[in-house]
A = this chain, B = another copy of it.
């Protein structure tokens, strides 16, 4: 390894490994780890470390890491937790790049464990050693034969696995062992993420020639914002597929007791991962197949999938399954339909889904003729072949196997030529037939389950869409500095954390956000004048930094005429004083009644894992009962804002349901982007609540606003700088 190798390269691809806690007892991990390295074909140096042994499996044993004569890249520490600090102390003057800490009893195990974890992290930083774990099953470099886990069989392949559960890793290894063509380049058990975190491995995998896709099983990320930043860069070349657990309330509790991580809100996680170009799956049985398809196939340019089936049942079920996942089954062009009809029997269905209706029973090369017509169709982005292909030699007559092998070559060539992904679902997947082997050699996935095939096509379409969008998406960089808006800096100076509606609106209006006009009246006369200057009735709301819930305090009056405005002023103040005799009341806000329209709520919330996140949804029952809200991480680009709006379920409400005209989406997008810029310009803002916002065909208006401050800026996740890497020196 050249001297320019960075820490992460040395850790992931080490030339020399120390096993600390090595043992002469064959039943101990400290013995087995060395055995596994030797038998796995690891060609680097292996240094057993144990103060009281001389030789293990033919290797000299060293009393400490610092006693090892050569340079050591990585230490596998298999000792109990309490000895780990002393081992790290000993590494002070070594050139050790990293250590894998297997022991449990750290952050996941209560206060004492947390203290021990803090201790080893600070020792490691002091001595320039990066840590994998603790509470990890280890790491594996499959192509190097470096197995620090002891899992018996890890099938070799092109997927890198970042995993927060050792048993999930074993599950994925065994799943791959029973699936032809699926395997791994690397495995890292990230454990408690005490030092090295999820995101810090991504760019290594991006540059790794053995890795074509990254698979992540995540319970909770300690720095989700950094993951988004890295993922956005990496995913353009190397697809990232995430299975995030802890989606349910019980699952969250379970994740927290497992790795001590906060699982966060599943809807937020899905949305921000989408924004970064990451593909999420929510079933564990779709994780490997989706990643494998992404690793070997071009992504789909769109969601239009053609189905080629040798039976009406598969055609129908495939159409259902693809539709259910939001993919489209487009009409084929007249030309394509003519070409299909020319090679298929009359009974065939040549619209999409295509059912060959027996047309391939005697000659399976007809599949190729059909596929040729279909993949050339401009309406088609991807093809699913569903039914019995690869099994005709078993099902009908042996001589068909040769025909199918030829057809398999031709199908793979066609898909390659047109750059359109092909996924094959076959009832005969479990029979390991030759035609399937040919397809797999060319990178075409063959799966038994129609639903798994559908999930793979969904992943290919989603990835295509996300990679295209991620280029226009936010870079997730948060600004810092002084607050730009006066009401905010004043409040911060005054030690306040809550702005009144008046102050909030002042700050937003100064940044040109579209607020319903408002005037602060401090006397009944001023209220009357303000109301008279407005065309039509007004809304009046009491202004007090001490009254957050104005309606509860009787502090709101709607549809007030100019004549009644002065009396209403008095009524509102009286109600406010009755509600809270000590409240400081600054006056009454007078605004024209807003144009009703579609009621939206817009806000910024502070997510534990991903920092400031925009929420936008429909008001009323949509938010209160249906929780139909969408999320994106700040800052927002225009493309992000548009994607966010498109994530709201009840799109009909935006497009003009119930006799209304469609709302002005551009105006909502402008508001979201302006709000993002406002938050960026005012780092003390921790929460923003615009509720309601009315959207009509003519524009958008913020009717109520509340800003919450956190002058300490805890909303900004303190992100560690990513490991420097590449050709710069170490």
Chain A residues packing against B (C-beta within 8 Å): 104-105, 108-109, 151-152, 163-168, 170-171, 174-175, 177-178, 217, 219, 243, 245-251, 253-255, 257-259, 282-285, 309-317, 319-321, 323-324, 329, 347, 349, 351-353, 355, 387-388, 391, 394-395, 427-428, 430-431, 448-452, 621-622, 624-626, 650, 652-653, 657-658
Q: Decide: A250 and B323 in contact? CB cutoff 8 A.
A: yes
Q: Distance in Å from the Cβ of A682 to the closest Cβ of chain B?
A: 33
Pairs A-B, 3 closest by C-beta atoms: A165-B313, A258-B312, A167-B311
Known: A152-B395, A320-B248, A428-B174. A658 touches B167 (CB 8 A): no
Q: Which of B104, B170, B243 sits near A388, CB closer than 8 Å?
A: B170
B residues in contact with A352, CB < 8 Å? 250
B residues in contact with A624, CB < 8 Å? 657-658
B residues in contact with A449, CB < 8 Å? 284-285
* Interface pairs (20), CB distance under 8 Å: A165-B313, A167-B312, A167-B313, A167-B387, A168-B311, A175-B427, A177-B430, A219-B312, A248-B319, A254-B312, A254-B316, A254-B355, A259-B312, A285-B448, A285-B450, A621-B621, A621-B658, A624-B658, A625-B652, A626-B626
Q: Decide: B171 and A314 in contact? CB cutoff 8 A.
A: yes
Q: Decide: A283 and B451 in contact? CB cutoff 8 A.
A: yes
A219 to B355, CA, bound (A): 15
Q: Which of B151, B324, B355, B451 sits near A285, CB closer than 8 Å?
A: B451
Known: A170-B427, A313-B167, A428-B174. A319 touches B284 (CB 8 A): no
Q: Decide: A323 and B170 in contact? CB cutoff 8 A.
A: no
Complex copy number for this chain:
2
Q: Distance in Å from the Cβ of A139 to the closest Cβ of chain B?
A: 17
User: Knowing that A245-B313, A254-B315 are A-B contacts, what are 6 other residue pairs whose CB atoms are under 8 Å apart, sorted by A's residue number?
Assistant: A163-B313, A165-B312, A170-B395, A174-B391, A246-B320, A250-B352
B residues in contact with A355, CB < 8 Å? 254, 257-258
B residues in contact with A451, CB < 8 Å? 283-285
A313 to B136, CA, bound (A): 12
Q: Distance in Å from the Cβ of A366 to the closest Cβ of chain B?
A: 16
A329 to B250, CA, bound (A): 7
Known: A104-B347, A317-B251. A431 touches B174 (CB 8 A): yes
B residues in contact with A652, CB < 8 Å? 625
Q: Distance in Å from the Cβ of A649 to the closest Cβ of chain B?
A: 8
Q: Decide: B248 and A324 in contact? CB cutoff 8 A.
A: yes
B residues in contact with A351, CB < 8 Å? 253
Q: Distance in Å from the Cβ of A695 to the closest Cβ of chain B?
A: 15
Q: Which of B254, B316, B625 sits near A319, CB closer than 8 Å?
A: B254
A175 to B166, CA, bound (A): 30
Q: Distance in Å from the Cβ of A651 to the closest Cβ of chain B?
A: 9
B residues in contact with A258, CB < 8 Å? 312-313, 315-316, 349, 355
B residues in contact with A317, CB < 8 Å? 168, 243, 245, 251, 284
Known: A621-B650, A650-B626. A319 touches B251 (CB 8 A): yes
A323 to B657, CA, bound (A): 32
- The residue of chain B having its C-beta at the shortest distance from the C-beta of A178 within the complex is B430
Q: Distance in Å from the Cβ of A63 to the closest Cβ of chain B?
A: 29
A349 to B251, CA, bound (A): 13
Q: Decide: A175 and B448 in contact? CB cutoff 8 A.
A: yes
- Looking at A108, A167, A247, A349, the one whose CB has the most chain B CB atoms below 10 A away is A167
Q: Decide: A164 and B625 in contact? CB cutoff 8 A.
A: no
B residues in contact with A170, CB < 8 Å? 388, 395, 427
- The residue of chain B having its C-beta at the shortest distance from the C-beta of A330 within the complex is B250
Q: Distance in Å from the Cβ of A560 to the closest Cβ of chain B?
A: 21
- Looking at A323, A449, A452, the one whose CB has the most chain B CB atoms below 10 A away is A449
Q: Distance in Å from the Cβ of A617 to the closest Cβ of chain B?
A: 13
- The residue of chain B having its C-beta at the shortest distance from the C-beta of A245 within the complex is B316
Q: Decide: B312 and A255 in contact? CB cutoff 8 A.
A: yes
Q: Distance in Å from the Cβ of A622 to the closest Cβ of chain B?
A: 7
A623 to B607, CA, bound (A): 34
Q: Distance in Å from the Cβ of A715 to the closest Cβ of chain B?
A: 28
Q: Which of B175, B177, B313, B428 sits near A219, CB closer than 8 Å?
A: B313
Q: Distance in Å from the Cβ of A719 to the closest Cβ of chain B?
A: 26
Q: Distance in Å from the Cβ of A113 to the closest Cβ of chain B?
A: 10
